[in-house]
Chains A and B, each alone.
Chain A
Amino acid sequence: MTGCAGFSSRLAEYASDALARPERSALKAHLGSCPDCRLEAVELDPTILFGLASSSEVDETEARRILSNVRGAIAIAEASRRMSPAARPARRLRSAGGIAAVVAAAALLHPFHLPRRPDAAAAEPAAASGIVPASATIYEWNTGADTDAKVVWIVDRSLDI
């Protein structure tokens, strides 16, 4: 174990949790590369072995998949919360972006389900509010019984989602 004496003498301190983090990290790095010291350490305290297993279990592709799922769940949660009757008007205004994202996703997935009645009158207030991008298309959907719009759909196909 030439050159290992410094590390070897610190194994007891490592096992008793008496080393500061930089020293622990240095010792762990050494144990990861030195079979003799690793064996000595495992004989002293076999639980040391568990601290040496550093594996990258998630690559970038997997991390992006998880992010995509998180983003999808957030968009649905935002949309459902803000479209619920309990949502306050002020929150509804702030939620336009989230709803737009969901509706844009729906438009890409189910283009034939979108309302086909663009309504310039209903679109004006939303466009004038400044919260809707100029590139967005605004649809108004009315159930038919009343004259007031029930739902305004904002579709922005330029969103990077």
Chain B
Amino acid sequence: MELIFSRKQEERAAVELDDRELAVRARSGDPVAFDTLVLRKTPAVVSVARRILGDAEEARDVAQLVFIRVWESISRYDEKYSFNTWLYRIATNLSIDFLRANRSRERAHGATLHLVRRREESLQDEATRGLEAAEIAALFEKVSDGLSEKQKAAFVLKEMEDLDSKEIAAILGCGESTVRNHLFNARKALQKRIRRDFPALVRRRKP
């Protein structure tokens, strides 16, 4: 009982620490710090993986692999750098690996195509009220299938995770200008696809 009580005290103290402090403690073998990081970062990791992969179940699988990779690599984490950037790099790379395998893309589109089509006609009205998050996610899956893996990852990290170009460059292992190119091309391709396939969404109102 004493051991369990003590662990709960440690858990309470750990939630007060920031990501970097937790990562440093996890690096030195503190299991409570590692667990706290996993619990804290799971929503963000699943979110990135979900949007890159387009499949919720695979996103959860990838999230588990991400944290196992974090545990394997934590000894190499350098606290001079942001833990988030390091974590997102692992999450993005693993998600891209999955995406390249092409399994998730096919499954995701098969599952969501019907939903997207069903919603297509009422998108204009919904845009004014606010689409449900799941519907926006389904729309994104539909229109993003022509993007390259890096374009898609850059767009997800920028628009959905609110990271800046410098952070995205560190995550994707490229220069900021390359990130800006990825974002520009992704945005143009998505706009073109939406205007072609979902014209109701961008229909101009009469002045």
B162 within 8 A of A: yes
Q: Are B136 and A57 in contact (CB under 8 A)?
A: no
Name the CB-closest residue of A to B3. A158
A47 cross-chain contacts in B, Cβ below 8 A: 155, 159, 187, 190-191, 194
Shortest CB distance A63–B (Å): 4
Name the CB-closest residue of A to B5. A160
Q: Are B43 and A56 in contact (CB under 8 A)?
A: yes
Stretch at the interface among A36-44, A84-92, A102-110, A120-128: A36-44
Q: Are A53 and B137 in contact (CB under 8 A)?
A: yes
Shortest CB distance A132–B (Å): 14
A66 cross-chain contacts in B, Cβ below 8 A: 38, 42, 46, 60, 63-64, 67
A67 within 8 A of B: yes
A17 within 8 A of B: yes
A158 cross-chain contacts in B, Cβ below 8 A: 3
Bound complex: CA A35 to CA B124 (Å): 11
Q: Are B46 and A58 in contact (CB under 8 A)?
A: yes
Shortest CB distance B101–A (Å): 20
B174 within 8 A of A: no
Q: Are A52 and B136 in contact (CB under 8 A)?
A: yes
Which secondary structure dominates chain B's binding surface? helix
Q: Are B3 and A73 in contact (CB under 8 A)?
A: no
Q: Are A43 and B202 in contact (CB under 8 A)?
A: yes
Pick the contact of B127: A17, A39, A77 (CB < 8 A): A39
Interface footprint category on B? 35 or more
A73 cross-chain contacts in B, Cβ below 8 A: 64, 68
Which residues does A use to contact B, with CB under 8 Å?
17, 21, 24-25, 28, 32, 35-36, 38-39, 42-43, 45-47, 49-58, 60, 62-64, 66-67, 69-71, 73-74, 77, 158-160
Q: A55-B137, A60-B39 are in contact. Are A46 and B159 (CB under 8 A)?
A: no
Interface residues of B in 54-74 (CB under 8 A from A): 56, 59-60, 63-64, 67-68, 71
Name the CB-closest residue of A to B66. A70
Which secondary structure dominates chain A's binding surface? helix
Name the CB-closest residue of A to B144. A50
Bound complex: CA A124 to CA B136 (Å): 63
B128 within 8 A of A: yes
Bound complex: CA A36 to CA B155 (Å): 25
Q: Are A58 and B43 in contact (CB under 8 A)?
A: yes
B7 cross-chain contacts in A, Cβ below 8 A: 160
Shortest CB distance A78–B (Å): 9
Bound complex: CA A57 to CA B43 (Å): 7
Q: A73-B64, A160-B3 are in contact. Are A43 and B204 (CB under 8 A)?
A: yes
* A interface footprint on B162-178 (CB within 8 Å = 1, 0 otherwise): 10110000000000000
A62 cross-chain contacts in B, Cβ below 8 A: 42, 60
A56 cross-chain contacts in B, Cβ below 8 A: 43
B129 within 8 A of A: yes
B164 cross-chain contacts in A, Cβ below 8 A: 21
B195 within 8 A of A: yes
